[in-house]
Structure 1
Amino acid sequence: MKHVLVGGIDRCAIVQGAWHIEDKTPEQVAGLIQLQLDRGVDFWDHADIYGAGRCEQVFGEALRRMPAATRDRLVIQSKCGIRPGAFTQYDFSREHILASVNGSLERLGVEKLDYLLLHRPDLLMEPEEVASAFDTLHEQGKVLHFGVSNCTPGQIELLKTAVRQPLEANQLQLSLAHTLLLDAGANLNLARDAGIGRDAGVLDYCRIHGVTVQCYSPFQYGFFEGSFIDSPEYPQLNAVLGRLAEQYGTTKNGIAAAWLLRHPAQMQVLVGTTNPERLAAIDEAADIVLTRAEWYELYAAAGNQLP
């Protein structure tokens, strides 16, 4: 299993997402935890809103059915800040962050989170409030490492005016069919829509400042519109994926994950599937190193033009 540095610590390149375990039994989740551990995937991603807390709860129930030492082998990450309801709102207040983390710890049945990410930007964010919450959580030993999700370079810099702990990760949507983090930089000074900056230069910023990008929705196109794997919307891309999958002895999902991991930013790929066969191919693909020509062929096959 390929590893990348997150805050200077070796972490597995594949992160297992927990947002699809809401309807699974604790026994099924325990089996999935062990399956991924056996393959070298020990990093799990949660959020307080996944399944309205049910995903964290069933994960905690699964852990209680496993040997106590299993928790020490896992890297557990959760996110907070989204407050669903009649309308969506975001909340990075000290009170909400502390309450969210305490709720996550209770549902997960653990004493600490390895990572806490702020989940989508709060437009009313006050860095001092976040800093106060982070200091309390860190001093109490409830959170070891911190990061953000979907944040721009400016928002991260604003947080850093008050937050003392390093912001080690930024969770961002990136896939072969959602390449907005890459497109503008490849089309600078060209009269193309792809040259319109929608990324705020966040990928380069993260590389410069040692912030690990965690790619979510790695097999999706649009804003959760569906998977591009075997989609009639992407015939050329699937043809190339299929050819390379056969060449490397893996699946289209495996090649799509390998494409992300080939990028020199040394990103993590956050997968949500719980299908054992699909996960096996993705996990094994972490060790596939695509050539430069293959990487660019896939980028072009997804419909991207280069000068």
Structure 2
Amino acid sequence: MRHICIGTSEMHVSRIALGVLHMDALDRTAAATVLGSVLDRGVNFFDTADIYGPNAGRAHASSEKLGTSIKDVGAKRSDIFIQTKFGVVSGYSHNGATRYDSSYRNLVESFDKELEALGTDYVDSVILHRPDPLMDVNEFAGMVQDLMSSGKVHEVGVSNMGPWQIEYLQSFLATHIQVDQLQFGLMHTPIIDAGIHINMSDDDAINREGGILPYTQLRKITVQAWSPFQSGTPYGPFVGNAHFPELNRELDRQARKHATTRNAIATAWILHHPAQIQVILGSMNPERLSQMLDGDDIELDRQDWWDLYKAAGHRVP
């Protein structure tokens, strides 16, 4: 497994990570099997969040399963990197998260429960899960400083933020924002589309994305791609999905060309971008994960990349 450095930090990590949103759906044995299977392939970065627990219907449930699995497989804490997210108030009784809360009290209380769930006294990175329109930036900056001074947090990032949101927040922080976690994959490409639709009639794409991809490269912020295999439609994952025949034909063609699988090609497509985007995989199926991880070994050429982009239905001006 090849590695990248996260932002300007000293975190030298696998460029493919495992997200554990759905780990709470597994029993203890199955969860340990999933974790062990990716550790054996060189994955050393794990992403969770305080609200993860959709199967159990409660916050911290997936993080608990991750913490237990780390112990069950005998992984040394110093050999792995754990990242969590906070700032979304879970509303499982209301069919999903209902609001955001970046207040000092909410974040610290939730974070301490998250450490307990994970069975650790620190995380390598913590991310503000969503922009909070009611954020008191001075209060947030003080909270970050307190968590870092206590040793509970080593690095800080954000998720789903645009350039000016990050720039404004960064101006209050004494530490560098290392990560912006954004949805990105073959069927969800607005951060790419915005860059090639300059001076086009669909310039609203530019206004929405605000040049976030070149901005993160300029500021040395690592983009982490979440839900990279989702179609962004009611049809769910796109690999092998009959609703996306052209894309799957192209995935098949390139899988034959590179003697691999569709899942590996879809991963390799993200990794081909020069921004050194980290891919956050969310599958809990060891066989599927193994295929996705094979993408680390595949070198697509430029034509491969563009053929896939167009087969996914994205327009090239």
Deviations 1:257-276 (A, max 9, x none): 10000001100001100211
Q: 1:14 to 1:100 in 2, by over 3 A?
A: same
The answer on whether the counterparts of 2:34 and 2:285 sit within 8 Å (CA) in structure 1 is no
Q: 1:196 to 1:134 in 2, by over 3 A?
A: closer
Q: Report the Cα distance in structure 1 between the residues aligned to 2:204 and 2:246, rounded to whole angstroms.
A: 19
Query: How far apart are 1:37 and its partner, in Å?
Result: 1.3
What CA RMSD, in Å, does the superposition of the two structures yield over aligned residues? 1.6
Q: Report the Cα distance in structure 2 between the residues aligned to 1:303 and 1:275, rounded to whole angstroms.
A: 28
Q: Which moved more, 1:21-30 or 1:91-100?
A: 21-30
Query: How far apart are 1:233 and its partner, in Å?
Result: 2.6
> Partner of 1:265: helix, strand, or coil?
coil
Identity among equivalent positions (%) equals 40
Q: 1:258 to 1:224 in 2, by over 3 A?
A: farther
The answer on whether the counterparts of 2:195 and 2:206 sit within 8 Å (CA) in structure 1 is no
Give 1:53's aligned residue: 60
Give 2:237's aligned residue: 227
Q: Report the Cα distance in structure 1 between the residues aligned to 2:117 and 2:103, rounded to whole angstroms.
A: 21
Give 2:296's aligned residue: 286
Give 2:82's aligned residue: 76
Q: 1:206 aligns with which of 196, 201, 216?
A: 216
Deviations 1:123-161 (A, max 9, x none): 111211111111111111001111000011111111112
Q: Report the Cα distance in structure 2 between the residues aligned to 1:302 and 1:28, rounded to whole angstroms.
A: 33
Pair 1:238-2:248 in alignment: yes
For 2:185, the aligned partner's letter is S
Superposition TM-score, scaled by structure 1 size = 0.95
Q: Report the Cα distance in structure 1 between the residues aligned to 2:83 and 2:106, rounded to whole angstroms.
A: 17
Give 2:56's aligned residue: none
Q: 1:102 aligns with which of 112, 116, 119?
A: 112
> Partner of 1:198: helix, strand, or coil?
helix
Deviations 1:229-263 (A, max 9, x none): 12233211111101111221221111111000000
Equivalenced residue count is 306
Give 1:91's aligned residue: 101
Query: How far apart are 1:32 and its partner, in Å?
Result: 2.0
Q: Report the Cα distance in structure 2 between the residues aligned to 1:225 and 1:131, rounded to whole angstroms.
A: 40
Q: 1:183 aligns with which of 158, 180, 193?
A: 193
For 1:10, the aligned partner's letter is H
Query: How far apart are 1:225 and its partner, in Å?
Result: 4.9
Q: Report the Cα distance in structure 2 between the residues aligned to 1:32 and 1:232, rounded to whole angstroms.
A: 27
The answer on whether the counterparts of 2:190 and 2:205 sit within 8 Å (CA) in structure 1 is no
Give 1:113's aligned residue: 123
The answer on whether the counterparts of 1:128 and 1:162 sit within 8 Å (CA) in structure 2 is yes
Give 1:306's aligned residue: 316
Q: Report the Cα distance in structure 1 between the residues aligned to 2:314 and 2:66, rounded to whole angstroms.
A: 39
Q: Report the Cα distance in structure 1 between the residues aligned to 2:98 and 2:234, rounded to whole angstroms.
A: 17
> Partner of 1:264: helix, strand, or coil?
coil
Q: Report the Cα distance in structure 1 between the residues aligned to 2:218 and 2:242, rounded to whole angstroms.
A: 38
Q: Report the Cα distance in structure 2 between the residues aligned to 1:127 and 1:29, rounded to whole angstroms.
A: 38
Q: 2:177 aligns with which of 167, 172, 181?
A: 167
Q: Which moved more, 1:104-113 or 1:52-61?
A: 52-61
Q: Report the Cα distance in structure 2 between the residues aligned to 1:100 and 1:60, rounded to whole angstroms.
A: 16
Q: Report the Cα distance in structure 2 between the residues aligned to 1:41 and 1:11, rounded to whole angstroms.
A: 8
Q: Report the Cα distance in structure 1 between the residues aligned to 2:256 and 2:187, rounded to whole angstroms.
A: 21
For 1:218, the aligned partner's letter is P
Q: Report the Cα distance in structure 2 between the residues aligned to 1:225 and 1:116, rounded to whole angstroms.
A: 31
Matches within 5 A, 1:254-265: 254-265=264-275
> Partner of 1:229: helix, strand, or coil?
coil
Q: Report the Cα distance in structure 2 between the residues aligned to 1:88 and 1:223, rounded to whole angstroms.
A: 21
Q: 1:11 aligns with which of 10, 13, 19?
A: 13
Structure 2 gap ranges (5+): 54-58
Q: Report the Cα distance in structure 2 between the residues aligned to 1:279 and 1:216, rounded to whole angstroms.
A: 15
> Partner of 1:286: helix, strand, or coil?
helix
> Partner of 1:274: helix, strand, or coil?
coil
The answer on whether the counterparts of 1:119 and 1:149 sit within 8 Å (CA) in structure 2 is yes
Give 2:282's aligned residue: 272
For 1:50, the aligned partner's letter is Y
Give 2:71's aligned residue: 64
For 2:308, the aligned partner's letter is L
The answer on whether the counterparts of 1:187 and 1:194 sit within 8 Å (CA) in structure 2 is no
> Partner of 2:76: helix, strand, or coil?
helix
Superposition TM-score, scaled by structure 2 size = 0.92
Give 2:35's aligned residue: 33
Query: How far apart are 1:25 and its partner, in Å?
Result: 2.1
Structure 1 gap ranges (5+): none
> Partner of 1:7: helix, strand, or coil?
coil
